A and B are shown apart, each in its own frame.
Chain A
Amino acid sequence: MRKIYSKIERIAGNVITVTADNVRYDDLAVVSSKYGDSLANVIRLDGPKVSLQVFAGGRGISTGDEVRFLGHSMQVSFSEDLLGRIFTGSGRPRDNGPELDENMIPIGGPSVNPAKRIIPRNMIRTGIPMIDVFNSLVESQKLPIFSVSGEPYNPLLSRIAMQAEVDMIILGGMGLKYDDYLFFKNALEEGGAMSRTIFFVHTASDPVVECLLVPDISLAVAERFALEGKRVLVLLSDMTNFADAMKEIAITMEQVPSNRGYPGDLYSQLAARYEKAVDFEGSGSITILAATTMPGDDVTHPVPDNTGYITEGQYYLSNGRIEPFGSLSRLKQMVNKDTREDHRSLMDGMIRLYANYKESLEKKSMGFRMTDWDNKLLKYGQIFEERMMDLSVNIPLEQALDRGWEIMAECFTPEETGLRTGLLKQFWPNKEDLN
């Protein structure tokens, strides 16, 4: 039987310190206070002094409360039973279902050997043209959705969860408003996707330490499913809350802050999570999409900035649309050559014309004279935004490509598009226009 310690020497924020022996770094303990039991994990050893962060928070903990060490680090149960269930950041049920404690696996495991990684090659279709056509999502990719508070990034994630062609979804919520949590739950239940989904949710009112555990616990479970051959899509929302939780703990631990109060290891901490995205040769894969709100719509803020250096591109969500500029899927060229022969050229052509539209729009707003060509572009831009960029558009890739041709034909003559003659002959809707 392990010893129980009943003298807490220091309580600061969510961190408590006790004198104990035979404790190992990162070990888990149970802290029993009059408000119930909470897990805690060891974050510093200094001689006999052991500092722990308490998952349920430090409030209400008394210096006389009991601390019992469990002799292992954080674990989560892993089995098919997880599917369709909702848990907290520390792995406890939040859906009134039974507690799961079989087949416990550690979280935050070692990183994948780069020599075992393979070049990504499979596209994940989502039914959203701005993703499928213009910035294809690729299996094993890690992509953030850069956005600001108030943008519909959670509805976007839930749509991707329902429509993405993957075997299962793991949704990690960090600092979610309770409404947003209910929204996800209802949307997936109504969409019939609940049975292939696992939730690990930390809401804004839950203790902040649990927020820190959400990515690790989600990705540990994802990794096991991937090793069993499942193609897993992990959706995380919102990673900025995760970074803020780290900041909070770091400051409590009196660490020297680097940029805007964030700890110096922010990059490494984020990378350790995002780099879990992988395609296991001969087995399954993990793909990560993570909403990241940019405080003040500032992409140079430490969280989006560090994220951009880690991930393989980004989606910019602003004004309720995925912006074609700034958004980038670095891996798209690995897959969009094998979809349909017009995919790449159409994508480039439409974006080029949309860029021209933006220029014309600027000229117009500055009061310069509009030429015929400008007017054509203005018409094109409007239609493009309506029928392609709008988030409610929900069509498969091939249909989206056809629609692209239709939009072009509605606005331009074939030679104005600057596309190759061969493609025009094959795909231009009104063949009479050619010649």
Chain B
Amino acid sequence: MTKTTGKVIGVNGNMVAVKVEGDISLNEVGYVKVGEQNLKSEVIRIQGDTAEMQVFEMTTGIGVDDEVEFSGELLAVELGPGLLTQIYDGLQNPLPKLAEEAGFFLPRGLYMNALPRDKKWEFTPKVKAGDTVAAADTLGTVPEGIFEHRIMVPFNFYESYTVKKVAEKGEYTVEQEMAVLEDAKGNQHSVNMMFEWPVKRAISSYEERLEPDTSMVTKTRIIDTFIPVARGGTYCIPGPFGAGKTVLQQVTSRYADVDIVIIAACGERAGEVVETLREFPELIDPRTGRTLMERTVIIANTSSMPVAAREASVYTAVTLAEYYRQMGLHVLLLADSTSRWAQAMREMSGRLEEIPGEEAFPAYLESVIAAFYERAGVVRLKDGSFGSVTIGGTVSPAGGNFEEPVTQATLKVVGAFHGLDRDRAEARKYPSIHPLNSWSKYPGVVAVDKVDFARSILSRGDEVGQMMKVVGEEGTSLEDYIVNLKSEFLDAVYLQQNSFDPVDAAVSVERQNYVFDQLYDILGSILELSDKEDARHFFNQLRQHFIDWNYSEWDSDEFKENEKKIKTLLEQKQTGLMEEAKRARKAAESKEHSNA
């Protein structure tokens, strides 16, 4: 079969128009030949015999009549053992390998194999000749770091097949034949450890998709307790610059209770990726005792790298996530920032001279964002095991204003919203998630009735605070003043967290529940305080002890000592428990009973 070819007839920014001879398909990959270089491009619109292609490289030097060769394949990634620990660009080129080859800079037109070809993997077969298999069935396994990597029937094998031959236990490279499968018509297909999958198609080789109902613990208190994320769920973090989106994502990538983390640095600062990729190989994952890098894949398409590849990078990342989900693993995909991806779409849409929507974003922005987040989910696989892909995306709204198209389109499809707040960030409160504006539809780790009570204190305290700005402290009643102090206390000792402190940076579910109970006791207390001065003094003391408590190691002597200090101090002033607090506790307890 001869390959379809074409000739360049126009260049506009990173888009080229090509006159094509033969058949091509949408999203097909082609290469523009400029001198010695072949520049990877993707077909994004076809009109008659003219194809418009976005070039994943700088277009300098492309001229009319330059040759274009089409591959016949959609933009795809390589799937197989060896993905973990890698640092890829948006098109799955391994960046460290590129650096070995080309030095400091990213050369144009140099593409490398995503999976190492020379590495040998210890294969253990799980099927035998004569077995019947279908797409995504496990043929055998290889150990990849701490995981058992399933070698599966490629997902694009849509029929059922009889195993004719399977490799014996032993060491093989990814390109060696692992099995021969025969379809109903008697055609034989050779299968090795790796195969390609088009990034813009969701992988759906599972039995059924389930409701995300288990919390994905991030060990950040405000998230797990107040605005939780579920395994297989989606959440977004919009925030103005400097609000700490990236820091929050970095912390999540370290502590999240999942098997694999895929970080898509999409159009953001290169410096931030550098921190991750220099530090992760040294940090030990407490769950496994191995370095964090062993459970991580980084897709880095930073802001100065070609824009078209930025658009591809989020799809590359989610495809890798889906692939590992097929092995019964829980995967977290962190995309930073989805706004840059949306902007990449806007740039292309402008060059295609499409009719612009709001703020010149294309009209299909919402459906594209929805389709991306919908690739998250928890699924039951054919072998009965469960796997999940959780997606967390940051959004960088222009001017920090959430009323813009990307934030709004994202809010429509996600299950949790962690809105970062400029005022909280400037007051150096970390995390700067606004506790009242943010929401989540997922179950948290602490009983919901108790959390609701705490939230009500928070919002009432906030109201009092607003009022106090106008009428001053003098014009506020002692009762209101105490509510305000309670809400500030809750903020200081629970919502805020010190990510630099080794203990406070990550708080287990067990500890969150324990500490929250004590906090609940304080928030629900009726307190005997003589005046405002007395009240402020009391809460200052209490805060000091509580923060010390947060910094002391779980269940250590220091921990117990600080706890005692809090209890003693509280007993001096506590005269009883508020009715609402009693009610909420009772409701929480009765639910616990019925569950047990």
Residues of chain A touching chain B, judged by Cβ–Cβ distance below 8 Å, are 21-27, 44-48, 73, 108-120, 227, 255-259, 263-265, 267-268, 271-272, 274-276, 280, 299-302, 305-306, 308-310, 312-313, 325-326, 328, 331, 368
Contact = CB atoms under 8 A, between A and B. Distances in A.
Report the contact-size class of chain B (Cβ under 8 Å from the partner). Answer: 35 or more
Contacts of A227: 104
A412 B138 CA distance: 72
B346 A116 contact: no
A309 B9 CA distance: 36
Interface string B329-367: 000000000001001101101100100100111000000
15 contacts: A21-B64, A25-B59, A44-B10, A47-B10, A110-B108, A114-B95, A114-B265, A114-B277, A256-B349, A258-B359, A259-B359, A268-B344, A275-B302, A302-B398, A306-B398
Contacts of A368: 472
Nearest to B361: A258
Contact of A258 (B10, B99, B277, B360): B360
Contacts of B59: 25-26
Which A-B residue pairs are the 6 nearest by beta carbons?
A300-B399, A271-B303, A275-B304, A308-B241, A258-B360, A115-B95
Interface centre among A25, A268, A308 (most CB of B within 10 A): A25
A28 to B, nearest CB: 11
A113 B274 CA distance: 10
A87 B300 CA distance: 37
Contacts of A299: 399
Given A114-B274, A119-B274, A255-B350, A47 B105 contact: no
B302 A114 contact: yes
A116 B472 contact: no
B9 A47 contact: yes
Contact of B398 (A119, A265, A305): A305
B531 interface: no
A328 B242 contact: yes
Nearest to B55: A25
B289 interface: no
A255 B351 CA distance: 8
B58 interface: yes
A143 to B, nearest CB: 12
Given A23-B64, A115-B98, A325-B426, A264 B346 contact: yes
B532 interface: no
Contact of A118 (B106, B242, B278): B278
Contacts of A22: 63
The majority secondary structure among interface residues of chain B is: mixed
A300 B305 contact: no
Interface in B430-448: none
Nearest to B355: A256
Interface of B: 8-13, 17, 58-64, 87, 95-96, 98-99, 102-108, 240-242, 265, 267, 269-271, 273-275, 277-278, 300, 302-305, 307, 340, 343-344, 346-347, 349-350, 353, 356, 359-361, 396, 398-401, 426, 472
Contacts of A276: 304
A113 B106 contact: yes
B62 A24 contact: yes
Contacts of B303: 267-268, 271-272, 275, 310
Given A46-B12, A119-B278, A112 B360 contact: no
A108 B99 CA distance: 20
A155 B344 CA distance: 37
A267 B8 CA distance: 28
A272 B304 contact: yes
Contacts of B58: 110
Contacts of B87: 114-115
A313 B106 CA distance: 26
A111 B105 contact: yes
A326 B361 CA distance: 30
B270 A275 contact: yes
A108 B398 CA distance: 27
A114 B270 contact: yes
A325 B427 CA distance: 10
A350 to B, nearest CB: 15
Nearest to B87: A115
A115 B274 CA distance: 7
Given A48-B64, A115-B87, A120-B271, A256 B107 contact: no
Interface centre among A109, A113, A259 (most CB of B within 10 A): A113
A264 B64 contact: no
B11 A267 contact: no
Contact of A308 (B60, B96, B242): B242
Contacts of B242: 308, 313, 328
A223 to B, nearest CB: 9
Given A27-B61, A271-B267, A280-B104, 11 more contacts: A110-B58, A113-B103, A116-B103, A118-B274, A256-B353, A256-B356, A258-B346, A258-B361, A265-B350, A276-B304, A305-B399
Contact of A257 (B105, B241, B360, B396): B360
Nearest to B310: A268
Given A45-B64, A115-B98, A300 B401 contact: yes
A82 B99 CA distance: 30
Nearest to A271: B303
B305 A111 contact: yes
Contacts of B359: 258-259
A300 B271 CA distance: 24
Contact of A300 (B275, B350, B353, B398): B398
Contacts of B64: 21, 23, 45, 47-48
Contacts of A114: 87, 95, 265, 270, 273-274, 277, 300, 302
Contacts of A300: 398-401
A258 B339 CA distance: 14
Contacts of A21: 64
Contacts of B104: 112-113, 116, 227, 280
Contact of B270 (A24, A112, A264, A268): A112
Contacts of A120: 271
A378 to B, nearest CB: 19
Contacts of A275: 269-270, 302-304
Given A22-B63, A275-B269, A110 B401 contact: no
A119 B280 CA distance: 13
Nearest to B305: A111
Contacts of A280: 104
A110 B63 CA distance: 19
A73 B61 contact: yes
Nearest to A254: B353
A113 B343 contact: no
A312 B304 CA distance: 15
Nearest to B302: A114
Nearest to A348: B428
Contacts of B95: 113-115
Contact of B63 (A25, A112, A257, A325): A25
A26 B61 contact: yes
B98 A113 contact: yes
Nearest to B354: A256
Contacts of A109: 105
A46 B304 contact: no
Contacts of A326: 426
A111 B303 CA distance: 10
A120 B304 CA distance: 18
Nearest to A262: B360
A46 B13 CA distance: 12
A303 to B, nearest CB: 11
Contacts of A313: 242
Contacts of B305: 111
B277 A115 contact: yes
Given A110-B106, A264-B360, A300-B399, A312 B271 contact: yes
A111 B106 contact: yes
A313 B425 CA distance: 13
B105 A24 contact: no
A268 B278 contact: no
Contacts of B270: 111-112, 114, 117, 275
